[in-house]
Amino acid sequence: MEKIITISRQFGSGGRTVGKMVAEKLEIPYYDKELIEKIAEESGYAKEYISEESEYAPGITGFTYGFLGRGSDGLSNADRIWFAQKKVILELAENGPCVIVGRCADYLLKDREDCLNVFIHASTEFRADRIVSQYGETSVHPEKRLKEKDKKRKLNYKYFTEQEWGKMSNYHLSIDSGKLSIEKAVDIIINAAGGNHE
């Protein structure tokens, strides 16, 4: 079985749910919000701050990174969080089999032979319906929420990895959760990882 499974996902595609279900069926640790606590411990920043800063760009254009305040060491808060995040993810991968959701884990673990990198996506309509049912209505139209979240994830990924977020060649497996269903996506990942979920 592939030891580490990373789940990257479009906002609203159910990637977090897929990752949790995969971990439960394989009976291995699952890291998503748990990562935030570990990164907070490592970096010294508040969990609430890391929740946004570790996965999303500070604005909707790449220029925003150029305006971040930097300390005497030349690093911004975003840079310090990135290094703490990298350290935590590399350590988790060394500790044993697990599922890691988001936070550029696919890139950070790209040199490991025992890692399966998955990207979960779905149509805008499916994702819009899902975020309303999961998170409720807000003053911002669902499709605009999707677009902004995904754009910030994409910019953040590009800034720290110099790779294209969602590009097929960066992943071993790309799954349309709207077309195949969350449950089917889980089964495909488990089979691809060589795990037994009977």
Could you report the per-residue pLDDT of 111-124, keeping only the tens digit for each? 999 999 999 999 99
Mind listing the pLDDT tens digit for each residue in 79-107?
888 889 899 999 999 999 999 999 999 99
**Which candidate, 121, 128, 122, 163, places its Cα nearest to that of 142?**
128
User: Mean pLDDT for the chain?
Assistant: 85
The whole-number pLDDT of residue 146 equals 92
Q: CA 160 to CA 147: how far, in whole Å?
A: 20
Q: Name the percent of the chain lying above pLDDT 70.
A: 84
150-187 pLDDT tens trace: 998 898 899 889 999 999 998 999 999 999 999 999 99
**Domains of the chain with CATH codes:** 4-188 (3.40.50.300)
Q: What is the largest CA-CA distance in the chain?
A: 55
CA distances from 174 to 81, 126, 141 (A): 28, 16, 27
The token pair at 198 is: 């009977």
26 CB-near residues (< 8 Å, 6+ apart): 1, 97, 99, 190, 193, 195, 197
Contacts for 18 with CB less than 8 Å, ≥ 6 apart: 7, 9, 120, 175, 177, 182, 185, 186, 189
CB 12 within 8 Å of CB 128: yes
pLDDT given at position 188: 96
Say how many CA atoms lie within 13 Å of 80 toward its Cβ.
Answer: 19
Assess whether pLDDT exceeds 90 at residue 109: yes
